Amino acid sequence: MRADFNLYVRRDTWLHRLDPRVKLAFVVEATALLFLWPSVRTAVGMIACCSIVLWLAQIPAPQIARAWRTMAPLMVMVFVLTALFAGGPSRVLFPIGPLKVTLGAVQQGALLATRLLALALIFFFWLFTTDQAAMVRGFLALRIPYDWGLTLALALRYLPIFAGLFQQVREAQQARGLDLEQRSFWQRLNAYRPVLIAMVISALRHSEHLGWALEARALGARGVRRSVFRPLHLRRGDVAVLILLLLTLTLKFGRRTGKLNAQRVGVGQGWQCPTPAQLYNVLFRTPRHVLLLTQDYAII
Average pLDDT over residues 160-182: 81
191 found inside a domain: yes
Inter-helix orientation angle 132-141/20-36, to 10°: 80
pLDDT band at residue 261, thresholds of 50, 70 and 90?
low
Which residues form the domain of 113?
Answer: 20-130+271-294
Span 26-50, pLDDT tens digits: 999 999 999 888 888 989 999 999 9
What pLDDT does 290 receive?
Answer: 41
Closest among 111, 102, 70 to 84, alpha carbons compared: 102
Q: Say whether 99 sits in a helix, a strand or coil.
A: strand
- pLDDT bin (cut points 50, 70, 90) of residue 112 is very high
At residue 135, the 3 state secondary structure works out as helix
Least confident of 168-182, 215-229, 279-293: 279-293
Q: Is residue 43 part of a domain?
A: yes
Give 248's contacts (C-beta < 8 A, 6+ positions apart). Answer: 29
- The whole-number pLDDT of residue 72 equals 92
**Res 272: pLDDT:** 54
At residue 216, the pLDDT reads 84
Domains contained in the chain, number? 2
Domain boundary among the residues 201, 216, 231 is at 216
50 and 97 share a domain?
Answer: yes
In a domain, 6, yes or no: no
Same domain, 121 and 151: no
Residue 253: CA count within 13 A, CB half-sphere: 19
Q: Is residue 290 part of a domain?
A: yes
pLDDT for res 73: 93
Q: Tell me the angle at which helices 20-36 and 40-56 cross, rounded to the nearest 10 degrees.
A: 160
70 compared with 191, residue with greater pLDDT: 70
Give the predicted TM-score (pTM) of the model: 0.72
Question: Domain for residue 87, yes or no?
Answer: yes
Residue 252 lies in a domain: no
